[in-house]
A and B are shown apart, each in its own frame.
Chain A
Amino acid sequence: MATLSVTAAPSAWAGLRNDLIAAAVIAVLGAIGWFVYPDDLAFLTRVIGLAFLVISLDLVTGYCGVATLGHAALFGVGAYAAGNFCLAGVTDPILMLLIGALAGMATGLVSGLLVTRFRGLPQLVLSIAFGQLVAALANKLSSITGGSDGLAGISASPVFGIFNFDMFGRTGYVFSVIVLLITMVVLLRFARSPFALMCRAIKDDTLRTRMIGVSVYPRLVVMYCVAGAVAGLGGALTAINTGVIGLDSVSFERSAEALIMLILGGAGNLWGALIGAILFELFHHYVSAASPFHWMILVGVLLIVVVLFFPKGLVNEVTRRIGDFRQARAAR
């Protein structure tokens, strides 16, 4: 979990145990997906791609308190970069992921330099402006983005030269689950690091962190770069799995949806981001199938219910209530 336990044994073993638990949870989730939706793996793969975006958003919004509605830019640029390199002949999926992460990181750097300079409404407006700028560029630069037709024909070579991306999306799904697993284990360690702890402190009280000698701005920019790499990874993964990148990957709607997923699951907690993305997409999947014209109304109702009854997000509220319950039982 993202929360730190000061009573944990001060050993490398405690860290390793946390890693193993996280890996096991994601492997189990992945296996559940495989068996419950055997014919819909493409849908699940899409959810995983989006989860990267939401986790990335959590790093800047949940951990640092940065308000942004332009985060899809980091995801989209990662996707376009991986796609273009693939079309130019770099078809190795792992190299494509790396390219996506680097492109996302570079976008995160530019976006972070701009957005974290300010706080509150100016910050929100700048984030929207940055997102719209990238979206407009994606539309105009059709030679590298395919414009409104999308960038098509992306076809990654087999993973390690062995595992072909098949038409049923099995390889894509397993590949995505593994990338997610590795990313989550690394990020959960990152979330326990002094750097991330300081980011949470900056969110709580920026002036006080400065008064203990912290230069806040560079830290937030670095966090934006990390978030950019994560979002870019998700973008590249989506490009590999779908073979096509549309303008929707950099759209305002994508940014706003990611924020909704984060609030649903619980900001400031990487599990919250992951679960939020899964729940939102599952809800979307079922409700839009049952009621294609009214599903957005139901999303609105769901959000209102969550914010009213679980203001800190589902995962944070559930963990808190379990904690309270345990405390009460221990007190008895």
Chain B
Amino acid sequence: MTTLLEVQHLSKSFGGLRVTDDVSFTLASGDRVALIGPNGAGKTTLVNQLSGDLAPSDGRILLAGEDVTKAPIPERVRGGLVRTFQVTRLFTSLTVAENVALAVMQRRGLTRRMFSSVLDRSDVRDEWQGVLSLLGIGHLAATPVTKLAYGQQRLLDLAIGLAMKPRVLVLDEPAAGVPHDESPRILEAIGRMSPEIAILMIEHDMDLVFKFAKRVLVLANGALIFEGTPAEVKENDAVRAAYLGNYADARRAS
């Protein structure tokens, strides 16, 4: 398997506060990795550095062997590093189809065109329709985004990411805010994605994590404290102390 993303000794400090502390890991083609950790562990901060939204203080990020630590966001996206957001970020004045088509057109270098729509051009149309039906929201193509239920918005968020044909897809809590009984639909959608893509998923919902991940990274106070299979993570005392303990307590209480 080819290594697609390599994070080397990544650190980020805000003043005296170290929010990312010497984090190193790799993602290879086909990886299904979950990044977990208690609230405030620095998960989203880490993702923001991967996507280029936030500059790391130290360390390197390699995308398919190329150093993108200082590369601007569009360059990383062109390199195949795509992310979604914890809170849905959609183009709310447009329809579902337009949201996905924009990503398709951008990837294919069509968004500089200034004359007439290419939304219905067969190659573009096939692609956005394909992505929408893969995620099970094909019937909503013509619906304005503002009329979608929240679960559908989350799926559209995934669809936009997927339309970019990512090599590395970073999903920041894809099931956040989705009613618990609907989260399997999200997982199902992720399951249908191409096996070539390396997926890093940040998630709070442990059921989802254990169903999705082949490998789990545990972050606490900005540092990676454990890396292993879901079964190993469950058994590990340090992880339990930092995170799962609270989770188990919370589950018992509910």
Residues of A within 8 A of B (CB): 4, 6-10, 15, 189-190, 192-198, 200-201, 203-205, 207-215, 226, 268
Contact = CB atoms under 8 A, between A and B. Distances in A.
B223 interface: no
Majority DSSP secondary structure for residues of B touching A: loop
Given A193-B117, A198-B102, A207-B53, A212 B93 contact: no
A214 B116 CA distance: 20
B121 interface: yes
A208 B85 contact: yes
Interface string B58-100: 0000000000000011100110001101000111111101110
B142 interface: yes
Majority DSSP secondary structure for residues of A touching B: helix
B95 A212 contact: no
Contact of B74 (A4, A197, A210): A210
Contact of A198 (B51, B53, B107, B111): B111
Which of B110, B116, B125 has most chain A Cβ within 10 Å?
B116
B103 interface: yes
B111 A4 contact: no
A205 B92 CA distance: 8
A59 to B, nearest CB: 12
A3 to B, nearest CB: 9
B122 A211 contact: no
Given A6-B119, A212-B106, A268 B93 contact: yes
Interface of B: 51, 53, 72-74, 77-78, 82-83, 85, 89-95, 97-99, 101-103, 105-107, 110-122, 125, 141-142, 160, 164
Contacts of B125: 10
Contacts, number: 116
Given A7-B142, A210-B73, A195 B114 contact: yes
Contact of A213 (B101, B106, B115, B122): B106
A10 B102 contact: no
Given A203-B93, A208-B91, A190 B106 contact: no
A213 B121 CA distance: 21
A208 B74 contact: no
Contact of B82 (A190, A195, A196, A211): A211
6 contacts: A8-B120, A10-B120, A189-B116, A196-B114, A201-B94, A212-B77
Given A197-B102, A207-B53, A212 B115 contact: no
B102 A4 contact: no
A241 B101 CA distance: 44
A204 B102 CA distance: 13
A201 B100 CA distance: 11
